[in-house]
Amino acid sequence: MFRAVLEAMSRPGRIVAASETLHPPDGLHPAFGAVCLTLLDFETPIWTDLDSESDAAQWLRFHCGSPPATPEEASFVLITRPRGLCPIHRFHPGDEERPERAATVLVQTQGMGTHAGRILTGPGILDETRLHVEGLPSVFWEERSRMAPRFPLGPDFIFTAGDLLAALPRSVRIEV
């Protein structure tokens, strides 16, 4: 799973197959759960839109042990309902001395494709590629596009759908 995340981050917009064998509780897709189990631990503060008493939240707490944080302070932000993703400027962008401290935002979506969608350019992309993420509010793309000039600051995004994942690192530019 770690290799799948690395592949997605190093080749932005590419859709990568993730775990088909993981069966997380209702409310979490296999790729979302697998990324959480791979990247989260007791030292990674998280914020999530999950109900804290849900089976999914309890499962994550048990397996990862991540302490809760505000959206502004979280190292990882877990979004299971993409309509609630914005505004994205509230997520930690890192700072000039430690840009690597920016939040990683994991977003569970209804589907993804590369046949249409936004045009992505930047490191890891030969010429350009396209990424369509179902269920994201259109304002997300506008907000994320406005963040590009602030590089190396800004959050990184990982999108999941079923057993698939794709990444949108902060270094990528988006044509809106």
d(CA 19, CA 159) in angstroms, rounded, equals 14
Residue 30: name the closest of 1, 62, 64, 65 by CA. 1
Other C-beta atoms closer than 10 Å to the C-beta of 145 total 15
Other C-beta atoms closer than 10 Å to the C-beta of 66 total 23
> In this predicted model, what pLDDT tens digit does every residue of 43-94 receive, in sequence order?
999 999 999 999 999 999 999 999 999 999 999 999 999 887 889 999 999 9
Residues 93, 155 contacting (CB under 8 angstroms):
yes
Report all structural domains of the chain as residue ranges with CATH numbers, in order of start.
2-161+168-175 (3.40.50.11310)
What pLDDT is recorded for position 19? 65
**Which are the contacts of 83, defined by CB distance < 8 A and separation ≥ 6?**
135, 137
The token pair at 45 is 């503060």
**Total length of the chain:** 176
Could you say which residues of the chain have pLDDT below 50? none
Residues 123, 171 contacting (CB under 8 angstroms):
yes
